[in-house]
Amino acid sequence: VVVVSALTFRILHGSRDLAMALVDMTQHFSYLGETLRIIGQPHEIADAPEAAPIVPHEGEVEFLDVAFAYGEGRKVLRDFTLSIPAGQKVGIVGPSGAGKSTIVHLLQRLHDVQEGELRIGGHPVVGLQQDSLRAAISVVPQEVSLFHRSIGDNIRFARPNATDEEVVAAAKAAYCDDFIRALPDGYDTLVGERGAKLSGGQRQRVGIARAFLKDTPIIILDEATSGLDTQSEIEVQSALARLMRDRTVIAVAHRLSTIAGFDRVVVVIEGQIVEDGSPKDLRRKEGGIFARMWSLQAEGLSMDDIAASMIEPS
């Protein structure tokens, strides 16, 4: 609307400067929009007046008898209890629509639970300020959004007051430093919509560098390493392994091989936990769902096919 208004203004009044100022304003708006998209969801839930500005430093996560439905719809989670000690790595698997994303969305408090309680580091999330909660959780998304700024600023986005040294340290930890230094202007190289194009693996490592910079006790991993060549995948996996060390990790797993080394796998069907154990034990469980998923994947079936087979009678 502003662009059209600017052009109209220019045609009608011949005032190029004002028209350009308005066009420039639209770029700021588009940058703002882009930034909001990268941040993810806007703060939908207001802080309670007594909400505390405590940032949980312990990565313990507890869902206690949680029930949740979107609006007036059916319950997506029912009697959902899951206690994750600090530092544990948990993969969540299950068919499409089982409630996996809902679990990690509730953890970020994009919605409030309707029954039961959700605690982080021993604090009920409803009693925490939104900003405190966000400072305790990093999300490494499936698709990393880059905005039209320098690559350094794209990493710094995770913690705007970080120094250059901290940005470089995060990039090094995520195996980004080498490829960034090889770009025409190093850390000052513009990336994003009209800037240098990064490969899928490089984008993912920028997402991991952001998480290093944020340095939170809890990591939510929306895994996305498929589609990468072997070398890129090794680099992404190495960066992730380093990031996960000493942190609580909750991964919505799209491939079983990546959670094979996790401490724990939780199989969710229709909003309830139906299997819970170490990947090693669950793989061996006779007649087990995870065991069946594992053997289907070994036969070369994709996760989508496996998920579909889980909702069909076997």
Residue 96 DSSP code: T
Q: Which stretch binds ligand ATP (CB under 6 A): 82-90, 100-108, 170-178, 208-216?
A: 100-108
Q: Which of residues 252-271 bind ligand ATP (CB under 6 A)?
A: none
How far from the centroid of its chain's Cα atoms is residue 274's Cα? 24
Task: Say what the alpha-carbon torsion angle 276, 277, 281, 286 is, to the nearest 10 degrees.
Answer: -10
Task: Give the residue, chosen from 97, 127, 141, 186, that forms a contact with ligand ATP under the rule CB under 6 A.
Answer: 97
Q: How far is CA 171 from CA 51, 58, 91, 242, 306, in A?
A: 34, 25, 26, 12, 36
User: Residue 98 interacts with ligand ATP (CB under 6 A)?
Assistant: yes
**Least separation in angstroms between CB 261 and ligand ATP:** 22
Task: Give the residue, chosen from 56, 91, 99, 201, that forms a contact with ligand ATP under the rule CB under 6 A.
Answer: 99
Q: Which is nearer to ligand ATP, 14 or 71 (CB)?
A: 71
Residue reference for tokens 């070369």: 300
Task: Say what the alpha-carbon torsion angle 72, 253, 264, 216 is, to the nearest 10 degrees.
Answer: -80
- Per-residue x/- track, 57-96, ligand ATP (CB under 6 A): -------------x--x--x-----------------x-x
Q: Which is nearer to ligand ATP, 99 or 200 (CB)?
A: 99
List residues bridging with 266 in a β-sheet. 92, 276
How far from the centroid of its chain's Cα atoms is residue 58's Cα? 19
**Least separation in angstroms between CB 75 and ligand ATP:** 10
Distance CA 101, CA 220 (A): 10
Q: Which is nearer to ligand ATP, 14 or 73 (CB)?
A: 73
**Least separation in angstroms between CB 76 and ligand ATP:** 4
**Least separation in angstroms between CB 68 and ligand ATP:** 9
For residue 253, which of 307, 309, 199 has the smallest C-alpha distance?
Answer: 307
**Least separation in angstroms between CB 105 and ligand ATP:** 7
Residue reference for tokens 């719809």: 73
Distance CA 115, CA 80 (A): 10
Task: Give the residue, chosen from 22, 75, 89, 100, that forms a contact with ligand ATP under the rule CB under 6 A.
Answer: 100
Q: Which of residues 101-120 bind ligand ATP (CB under 6 A)?
A: 101-102
**Least separation in angstroms between CB 137 and ligand ATP:** 17
219 neighbors 247 (Cβ within 8 angstroms): yes
Binding-site size for ligand ATP (CB under 6 A) equals 11
For residue 300, give both structure tokens: 């070369």
Q: Residues near 195 by Cβ (< 8 Å), separated by ≥ 6?
A: 146, 148, 189
For residue 239, which of 198, 201, 265 has the smallest C-alpha distance?
Answer: 201
**Least separation in angstroms between CB 227 and ligand ATP:** 17
Q: Which is nearer to ligand ATP, 213 or 282 (CB)?
A: 282
**Least separation in angstroms between CB 44 and ligand ATP:** 11
**Where does this chain bind ligand ATP (CB under 6 A)?**
70, 73, 76, 94, 96-102
